[in-house]
Each structure stands twice: as structure tokens, then as C-alpha cells.
Chains A and B, each alone.
Chain A
């Protein structure tokens, strides 16, 4: 191991509440980055708005703290411009699946090689505890004035339906297990999604540490034969069905681990390379745009469909 995980800690004061699940996710990220020996300059953590979205300040890699709901398009732009960077989106359930849901879906459709780590605490913490998109209906957490009358959405199903090729669920307090899943997600070539269940000790007094720990189990421990990795297109319908059934499990038993993986779909950068050969070797971030200030393109030579001989 070339780098210690301590090297990924930034000097900034971490402003989360004591006992917040974000600490577990932060530590798991340090360890995953260290074990993968990621270059801090070439590793980019992009976040939106919310408690969890402060995370770029706390990890000593390149960070981009964007606006509410938009870390995915910003991250996609970074990855599009420079496909050789390791790009992660780390943001909350409200950011990614509330205000940013359109982008969450679009990332799956593109299968861009980006890892999305969703800090899923089912509440809007930074605005003091409103219902998040993963809070079940009729639950009334302590800041709500009335029970929640909107249904929770199932992030795993949405990810599978959107086209993510790596879909997993983890638990914030199990740092080493989470770290392993983050590593797998980063190594995966394509859009990877990890739904990290995360107690909010301040505002979610229903889905607490105890509540989760009574329900969660690891698929690889209890069902070692579970296999929802698509290695050839013919397996798709069967394995997708299996993954969907697993993703539907919720209630007394909540499965953790890698739910679904599709190794057959090409990532976005490979698709662009197909329609624009040379893209990977000379991506938009670094390809020459001038020579000593002079333009490289002569419009009369290039836009010949508009040239007319009078």
C-alpha cells in the first residue's frame, strides 16, 4: 500500500453531528482510496447540497462542491472532458433522488464511468429534518408536523431501471464492508451506484442504528450462491429479474452487498470513442485548441457543405 488512509484526511473541521452516519462513509472512503492508491489530483469527489455534500472539504483529493441536485451533471462534465480521472459523486438521497432525480436517471442511461455514493438517511438534515425521498409513507420523524404522505422510492430499482451497471447497498456504520463495496464500485467500468443506509441521529428517530441493525443482512454471507452479475447479454432477463427481486426486499430483512452487476454494457467514454475516434487519446480537457494562439481549423476547408462556388 503506497498511501496511508490518513493522507486522505483533510485539515478541515468536520461539521457533522456526533454519531452521524456520514463519519462511517467518510472513513470508508479514506480507506478505499488508500487501498486503491488513488492519486489525489486525479481523483475527484463531486457533491451537491446537504449535510453529506460537505464531504469534498474533508477528503484530501480534488473536490467540487456544486449546487443542490446537480453533482451528477457536473461530474459527468468532468468525466466527459477527461475520461482518465476517477470521478465519484457523494451526495444525499434528497439531492440525488429528490431535486436531482432526472440526472440520476440520465447517468444510468449513459453508463458513464462514475461512482455514485448516496448517503441515504431519508431526511433533509441541513434544513432540519424534512422527509427525504426514501422516507416511507406514514412515518413521522420527529421534525415532521404530520406523517409523511408521499411514498418512498426504491433507489435500487430506479438504478437498475435507469441502466446503472453496478448496484449495491451498504450500511454506514460497517466501515470495512462499505469500504470493500466502494472499492468494487470504483473499479467497475461504468455507472456504479451504492445506496448507503445511514442513520441520522439528529432527525431520523425512526430509522435508527438499532432499527437498521435488526434488519440488515449481507447477501454474500447468507446467500453465497446469489449471482446477479451479467457476463453475457443472454443472461440479462434472468439476472435482472433476480436483482429486482432482491432489490424489492425491504422491511424485516434488508439485504446489503452487491445487488446487480452488468459487465456487458460499454461505458459512455467507449461510446463516444466509437462516434468520435481519438476521443480517449485526446480528450476535450487536453486536446490542442490552438497553435501559438492561432486557430487550428479553417472553416472553408471543414464546413465544405456550406461552401459555394460563385
Chain B
């Protein structure tokens, strides 16, 4: 996802350099036909089921669509949404969740640094730490709901370390519920990001560290001055993945863990969209929120591509 702008170049086969022009153009035509034949299935699926629907979403976002009939209203629907205080309440939740993205990257960075040193048992640990990636958000949410419940593990730990005054029903209050969702999100992102950083670290030439050691750099200095700058691409990749997950993959976690509540406490844009369309039947508003979500993600992805381009 990092380098969407990487257009194929130079790798294609040149047309056969036959002296006969007619023959050559004939072959060219076969090539074009073959290429279309090979790309057609993928193109058809993507156009019919992704590109056309996003166009429809833009159109229907300006109507009062209920799934059966739609009357044109116009771009003013966007103004109506932006004047709706609930929309801003929901967007605030998305913003607060974004604050956990750095945590979801720094923790795995430290873990990857330790694993890279090949501490005892690192292979087993690597398998274990990636495990949440294989488990569905439904299952994660179901366990997390118990962990944060009044008699759950978090309150148990708080009691054991003498912080009984902090014991609460985490999912029963707006901000603590959002915190619980964020903590669960961070927990399940640790695996993916650890693997990304480990991969990045394995591409760094050990000779660079050797040179640093000769120059008298401590391990910490080497980590800060060598590892971190060389991992830049991997930070960007991990940032995009983590951010997209925070915006678009938490629906099932929230559905199972809190149902969006209490109040609007854990309702994010994607959950709001589902509620508007499938609970209330306002398909037009749902499509509208979908377009807003798409624009936000597209903007951030473009910005990070620009960043990546700027360096080369």
C-alpha cells in the first residue's frame, strides 16, 4: 500500500525487433489483445464491484435514498451532515483513536529491536506475537469485553497492585470505553507492526553497525542514529496500515465489544455509517458518510505518497 504510485516501467518486453513492419504490427496487435484478455477478469471485478459502487455512493450521497427510491437533494446534504453535532462527536472518537496509532507503532518497534538481537527464544516469541493477526476482530472483541468487565482481568490487576480506587466498569463510561477499544486495537496491531519492523531491520547491513561500534557508538546511539533513520520507509508503511485499520477495520470489534456505546462513546465513522443505513434506513446519509471516510483516507494516503516521493 505504501507505493501505490509505482507505475510499471522498463520491465515490459519490447516489441520484437523484426524487420518486417507488417509482421511487427500484427504481433503488436496480438500482444494488446492478449494483454486485455489477461487483465480483463481483474478489471471487470474491480470496476463492477468497487469503482462503480463508489461512483454510486457519491451520487446517492446527495439524495434522500432509502434503498428503494431516491430524490435528488444536491451537495447541501454535506452541509447538513457537517451541521449535525453527532457527526462531530463521532469524528472526535476517530480523532481520539488516532492518538493510539503512535503507541501501536512504538511498542512494536521496541519489541522488534529486542527480537532482532536474537534474545533467547525469539523464534517462538515471533510466532506468538503475530498470532492476533490471524484472529478475527469478533473473537478479539469478545475476549476483550470480558477483560475490561467489572470482574475482569484489568480490574483484577488494578486491585492486586493496590489501585482499587481506579477499578471501574470500563465499558460503562464513554471515555473509558473508548480507551478500552483503543487498548484492544493497539494490542492486536503489535504483531503486524513488529513483523514489518523486524523485516526492515533485517535489511540493514551489519557492517554499518560494525562501523558505528568502532567509532565508539553505544547500543542506544546505534539504535537512534542508525536503525531509526534507515527504517523510514517501514515507518511509513506501518503508519499507513495502522491508520487505515484504525479508520476502517474496527467495525466488528466495536459491534461485539460495545455496540457503539455507551451513548455515542465508541461510535466511529464506520459504525455511524452502518447505524444510519441499516438500523435507521437512511441509505443516503450512510453513503454520504462513506464518501467522507473515503476522502479522509485518500487524503492521508496521498499526503504520505507525496512525502515518499519528495525524498527520492
Whether A associates with B in a native complex is no
Chain B positions within 8 Å of A, measured between CB atoms, are: none
